[in-house]
Every structure is written in structure tokens, then in C-alpha cells.
Amino acid sequence: MEKRVNQIKQQLSAQNYKLTPQREATVRVLLENEEDHLSAEDVYLLVKEKAPEIGLATVYRTLELLSDLQIIHKLNFGDGVTRYEFRAEGAEHHHHHLYCLNCGSVDEIMEDLLGPIEKQVESEYNFQIVDHRLTFHGICKRCRGKVEDPKKLYSIKLS
């Protein structure tokens, strides 16, 4: 944890940015909730607990900064809010998401399932791939059995 905070501090100063207390608090919240895919509002509420004077705009600015520096990633599941997650440490390690239509949870698939497919797409469509987003929408293991008609949920909830 301290190690990662420090690492980020260095990434910031390498570009002449400082790890101010607000930024540090934000980073720590993100690290502490790494598996949660928080929205800006989520982050704001959590950061306020440790730094009550912080403004929402600062949180947005910090998230934008971290995103520009490719320290975090913005995610969109179509429910109207942007969520954030840490980038995989090793540059090219992609992963995917499982978005539950019932409870809104987001789980991760930590393996990259698309390696061969990317190659196929690059050559077949003459498209230079920089990244991809793969999300499966459905019912998570915790909601299994609770939902009668997943397709219906789907049409209601999804964008």
C-alpha cells in the first residue's frame, strides 16, 4: 500500500505534479477499494471521511489527472456514471468485467481472453488496436436464482 502510494507519487512528480493531501487521500481511497469500481461520487464520499474539507471538483480533477497519467482507467457500463479502476500494473495485461443486471455489481475476469481475437481483428479489419473493452452483462453468482427473467431486466436496466 505505502509502496503503491509512493510509486504513484513518483509518477506524478515525473510530470511535475504534486501528491497533495487531497490527491493522496483520493489515491488511498481508490487503493483501499480497488475491487469496487467506484464512481466519482463514491470516491468523494469516502474521501470526505478522511479529508472532510475536500470538494467534489477536486475529486473530479484528481481522477482526471490520474486518468491522463494512465494510473487509473475510466469505465462506463451504461448506467450513467463513470467508474474508475486502477490500471493493471504490467502494461499489457487486459482484463474484463462481469456486470450484474440485478444488483449492479462489477466483478472481474483477470485473464485476457482476447489475445488471438485481437490479432484476427487487426489483420482482418485493418484496425490498429490500442485497447479493448469487454463486458458481459448478466446475472452474477450471488443473484443466481433471485431473477425470473434476465432478458427483461436487461431491457430495463441497460444502456
Partner DNA sequence: GTGATTGCAAATTGTTTGCACGCTG
Partner DNA sequence: CAGCGTGCAAACAATTTGCAATCAC
What 3-state class would DSSP assign to 45?
Answer: helix
How many CA atoms, within 13 angstroms, populate the side-chain half-sphere of residue 69?
19
User: 49 vs 89, which CB is nearer to DNA?
Assistant: 49
Part of the chain binding its own copies (CB under 8 A), chosen from 14-22, 26-34, 47-55, 70-78? 70-78
97 is in an annotated binding site: no
The CA distances from residue 133 to 77, 100, 128, in Å, are 10, 16, 15
Of 22 and 82, which has the nearer Cβ to its own copies? 82
33 Cβ contact list (under 8 Å, min separation 6):
42, 46
Residue ranges in contact with DNA by CB under 7 A:
16-18, 20-23, 39-41, 51, 53-58, 60-62, 64, 80-82
For residue 72, the 8-state DSSP code is: E
In this chain, which stretch among 14-22, 31-39, 51-59, 63-71 interacts with its own copies, using CB under 8 A? Answer: 63-71
Q: Which is nearer to its own copies, 45 or 98 (CB)?
A: 98
Residue whose entry in the numeric block shows the C-alpha cell 467534489: 56
Residue 57 binds which of its own copies, DNA, none (CB < 5-8 A, kind-dependent)? DNA
